[in-house]
């Protein structure tokens, strides 16, 4: 009986959490084009942010994030400088991007 109550309470907390925008997002680390791309969601100052950070030592590069309200971009950054973009997380439509000038670009759902 106690186990059933715990399951019901845990399920309720999970549903309420998703309703408040605390959904679980994907996070990742990749090494495209010889750089380091980190993306995902993190809790900052009581809210949840999407982030995309891309580091490349040899090429100009950028990162961006998109949510239900639009896109935030780091703009082009010179080699050796981190390209970082952040914005609030929405329930749906959260994406992270990287781009390398004269190279490839990538996208991930977060």
Can you give the residue ranges of every domain in the chain?
Answer: 25-109
| Token pair 């995902």: residue | 40
The backbone torsions φ and ψ at residue 22, rounded to the nearest 5 degrees and listed phi first, read -100, 35
- pLDDT 10s digit of each residue in the chain, 110 long? 555 554 444 444 444 444 444 455 789 999 999 999 999 998 877 789 999 999 999 999 999 999 999 999 999 999 999 999 999 999 999 999 999 999 999 999 99
Give me the pLDDT at residue 26, please. 83
Give me the pLDDT at residue 44, please. 76
* Residue 10, token pair as written in the block: 């845990």
Give me the pLDDT at residue 3, please. 54
Fold of 25-109: Immunoglobulin-like (2.60.40)
Strands of 83-88's sheet in order across: 28-30, 36-44, 47-55, 83-88
The conformation of residue 45, written as its DSSP 8-state character, comes to: T
CA torsion, points 90, 82, 60, 108, in degrees to nearest 10? Answer: -30
* Residue 53, token pair as written in the block: 């950070």
Give me the pLDDT at residue 24, please. 54
């Amino acid at each position: 009986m106690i186990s059933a109550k715990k399951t019901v309470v845990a399920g309720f907390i999970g549903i309420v959490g998703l309703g408040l925008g605390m959904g679980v997002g994907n996070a990742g680390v990749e090494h495209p084009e010889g750089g380091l791309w980190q993306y995902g969601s993190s809790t900052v100052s009581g809210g949840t942010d999407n982030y995309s950070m891309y580091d490349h030592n040899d090429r100009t590069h950028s990162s961006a994030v998109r949510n239900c309200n639009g896109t935030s971009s780091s703009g082009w950054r010179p080699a050796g400088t981190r390209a970082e973009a952040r914005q609030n997380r929405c329930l749906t439509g959260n994406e992270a991007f990287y781009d390398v000038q004269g190279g490839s670009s990538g996208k991930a759902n977060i």
